[in-house]
């Protein structure tokens, strides 16, 4: 019987953990995911690849809830995600049982990140190939939170972040256009970021909104289409304004 206690993730001579870096590659090939934090709302958006005709799309949920006040979206290997999400859900309930208080977003993020790190330092296992975006509200608090973890097990809080395919361009867009928003504006910002890299249309995007009062709400396709239409209109108006201004300056010179 082969011995499964030898580490798979070992250091390279120049200090890299190649397995972890390869896992990050796997994440970069996963579908795009974006998270934006507002003052009273937090939004998760995920790229939805075209569903095959015979597939029941309801069973392919990309944005899941870990507890009534915490939600998660991820990019990378979906099977790994399932395992991680199950463990996180158990931990949420276990925390409720031992401390009689729901988890804070930071606690569950720390737990997931700790789990991801454990698998980079154990024998016979490979790292999880996914990065997660975790959003939620701390119990007894109305402030939303957004955290990101990655296969190496690091985590940090963000105002807005993206992972998965073309995450760099999404992040650049967010850095340029982020401002403290609330309610619908937050949703629009998330959709705009996603539209940078995804084909426009309600059937290619999945959006979920979390508020302190109403918890997690997945937006319907029709709603998303509405937002997309609004955004396109705004974009067109902005273009027109630019063109108009440009034309006048060129005319005057």
Which residues here bind other proteins, judged by CB under 8 A? Answer: 98-101, 104, 106-107, 110, 140
Cβ at position 104, least distance to other proteins in Å:
7
Q: How far is the CB of 138 from other proteins (least distance, A)?
A: 9
Q: Residue 83 CB, nearest distance to other proteins (Å)?
A: 24
Residue nearer to other proteins on the CB measure, 44 or 103: 103
Which is closer to other proteins, CB of 112 or CB of 170? Answer: 112
C-beta closer to other proteins: residue 88 or 224: 88
Q: Which of 170, 231, 228 is nearest to 201 (CA)?
A: 228
Q: Which is nearer to other proteins, 84 or 108 (CB)?
A: 108
Q: Which is nearer to other proteins, 20 or 105 (CB)?
A: 105
Task: Tell me the DSSP string of 98-135.
Answer: HHSSPPPHHHHHHHHHHHHHHTTSSBT-----EEEEEE
Lateral strand order in the sheet of 41-47: 160-163, 33-37, 41-47, 205-211, 215-218
The torsion defined by the Cα of 218, 220, 224 and 226, in degrees rounded to 10, comes to -140
What's the min distance (Å) between Cβ of 87 and other proteins?
18
- Integer angstrom CA distances of residue 59 from 9, 53, 55, 64, 172: 33, 14, 9, 11, 32
Distance of closest approach, residue 99 Cβ to other proteins, in angstroms: 4
């Amino acid at each position: 019987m082969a011995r499964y206690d030898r580490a798979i993730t070992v250091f390279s001579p120049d200090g890299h953990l190649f397995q972890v870096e390869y896992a990050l590659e796997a994440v970069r090939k996963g579908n795009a995911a974006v998270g934006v934090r507002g003052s009273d709302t937090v939004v998760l958006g995920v790229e939805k690849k075209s569903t095959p005709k015979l597939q029941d799309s309801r069973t392919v949920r990309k944005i899941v809830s870990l507890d009534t006040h915490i939600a998660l979206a991820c990019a990378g290997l979906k099977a790994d995600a399932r395992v991680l999400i199950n463990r996180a859900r158990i931990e949420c309930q276990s925390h409720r049982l031992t401390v009689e208080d729901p988890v804070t977003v930071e606690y569950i993020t720390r737990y997931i990140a700790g789990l991801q790190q454990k698998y980079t330092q154990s024998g016979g296992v490979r790292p999880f190939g996914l990065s997660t975006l975790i959003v939620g509200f701390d119990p007894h608090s109305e402030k939303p939170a957004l955290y990101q973890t990655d296969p190496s097990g690091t985590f940090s809080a963000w105002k807005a972040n993206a992972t998965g395919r073309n995450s760099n361009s999404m992040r650049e867009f967010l850095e340029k256009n982020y401002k403290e928003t609330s309610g619908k504006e937050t949703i629009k910002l998330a959709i705009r970021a996603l539209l940078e890299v995804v084909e426009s249309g309600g059937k290619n995007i999945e959006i979920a909104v979390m508020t302190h009062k109403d918890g997690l709400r997945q937006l319907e396709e029709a709603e998303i289409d509405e937002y997309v239409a609004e955004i396109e209109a705004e974009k067109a108006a902005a273009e027109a304004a630019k063109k108009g201004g440009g034309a006048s300056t060129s005319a005057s010179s």
